[in-house]
A and B are shown apart, each in its own frame.
Chain A
């Protein structure tokens, strides 16, 4: 039982973390909100003035914003679709009795540990390059015209690269969930004559529901902020074809020096992420009680 004494000690122990995180959250966010109401360009120092919601109306009515929003959603949705389906498939496969299971598992999760700039550049140059890339060579050997991935399908290329990085995460979580499934339940269903498909739909899938939700939510948080992969492969282009919200804000701030406009964009991104975050926090919170 906690006494008053231990309670105040506990408060003291928590203080550094709480204060630091509070400052980290509130100071930059407050400044971003403040900047978002200013006409503030680094190329015109001393000319800052209050402009109300002008930055927001410019940002939201910029066709680049609509492209970036669409690309962000396509990127998140595409990667989620690939990693969830692929992750479940891999998890089911790795859950079977196979030779060298541990080694296959290690091979499958390896991409998660590759830093984003490395995986993006390796894919860009050694696989997707239309002249020297392996995929181009495979296409030519089969008698097809090689595709210039990053020029003709830039967003799809980024989706492939990011999905390759996140497939291991989904697989690992699904596998962990799958392995906690009661073996006897599966056996009982099997004895009752349930085939693979009905066992999957009625037993495995419901059991994995929570793992799937967690993967969706956590990946969404990270995927909304994909940055390095776009920076080193396409620079958001051609045009705005592979620009997502994060990249658009970055470009507006650090390439065009439009601090006010970029801040408005940042706030829009924060609001979008918050909508996702609310669901995630609820889910994990519910779990904390169990």
Chain B
């Protein structure tokens, strides 16, 4: 039963919530607006909010100056590549743990989780030296490997919590009806597992896209994804706010959109199923 709420109270609450929401969102909004300004308008005092000369020249400029598309593509390859590779490795493991658990399954899961808790500086130095010696520094493949490994525990965990919810009886029922193992997998299990796999995919693309420890330390130019590329704006030359904004807007837009679709999975994936 829904509680009755006075319209006045609802209006007041809405006003507060909207004000705070816009305040929190403002830096993003401001970045997007600034990306369409000329460099002069970008630092105008008093600041101009909407009534300025809108231009898309910053976007063209960012591309022509620094091959933005390359870095964007690096981010795509890296986040998608590491997620898909992680799924291939993790699906069988999560499957086995969810459907034929043993006494030690829980310990294995907890141990996997604990690997995620090792601070990256504990591994940075050897990985950096190994990568230097075998020529993997500043390569996409090296980065994909590292990102796969750091996100593997989260992938296994998320898949496990989803697979666990698939009722085991349904398998038995299918088997009783004479379904072969192949049929069982194609017609019964896959359709039930796909939503969980899709959510895991989504969350991990987001995590890999925004990863900013290993990307910053292991890439410099050729294989630099957007995190590293944007970091190069920390030492500015001349007027650059509008160009920084344009580069940033393109870097966050795809993930922002994906992220809005994955709010629920986010909670589940990042709390390892402790909060649903």
Contact = CB atoms under 8 A, between A and B. Distances in A.
Interface of A: 2, 6-7, 9-11, 13-14, 16-18, 20-21, 24-25, 27-29, 31-32, 35, 90, 93-94, 96-101, 103-119, 121-127, 132, 134, 137, 141, 164, 167-169, 172-173, 176-177, 180, 183, 187, 210-211, 214, 218, 221, 224-225, 227-228, 231-233, 245-246, 249-250, 253-254, 259, 262-263, 265-267, 269-270, 272-274, 276-277, 280-281, 283-285, 287-288
B220 to A, nearest CB: 11
A13 B97 CA distance: 9
B14 interface: yes
B113 A94 contact: no
B156 A17 contact: yes
B213 A225 contact: yes
Contact of B213 (A99, A227, A287): A227
Interface stretch (B15-23, B56-64, B183-191, B192-200): B15-23
Interface string B248-276: 10011001101110010011001111111
Contacts of B18: 98-100, 104
B139 interface: no
A132 B124 contact: no
A228 to B, nearest CB: 4
Contacts of B69: none
A18 to B, nearest CB: 7
A98 B10 contact: yes
B183 to A, nearest CB: 18
19 contacts: A14-B97, A27-B126, A28-B125, A28-B126, A93-B13, A93-B16, A97-B13, A105-B21, A115-B230, A117-B228, A118-B251, A164-B27, A167-B24, A180-B276, A183-B1, A218-B271, A231-B231, A246-B120, A288-B109
Interface centre among A90, A97, A121, A125, by most chain B C-beta atoms within 10 angstroms, is A121
Nearest to B19: A104
Contacts of B95: 13
Contacts of B271: 173, 214, 218
B93 A14 contact: yes
Interface residues of B, number: 98
Main secondary structure of the interface of A (DSSP, over half): helix
Contact of A2 (B93, B100, B115): B100
Contacts of B234: 117, 121, 124, 231-233
Given A28-B122, A32-B122, A137-B45, 16 more contacts: A10-B99, A17-B152, A24-B149, A96-B10, A97-B13, A113-B258, A114-B210, A115-B251, A116-B212, A117-B212, A117-B231, A125-B241, A228-B231, A266-B124, A284-B110, A284-B273
Contacts of A285: 106, 110
Contact of B22 (A16, A107, A180): A107
Nearest to A29: B122
Interface centre among A104, A167, A276, by most chain B C-beta atoms within 10 angstroms, is A104
A60 B101 CA distance: 45
Contacts of A31: 125-126
A21 B24 contact: no
Contact of A108 (B21, B210, B272): B21
Contact of A228 (B34, B114, B212): B212
Given A113-B255, A281-B113, A14 B274 contact: no
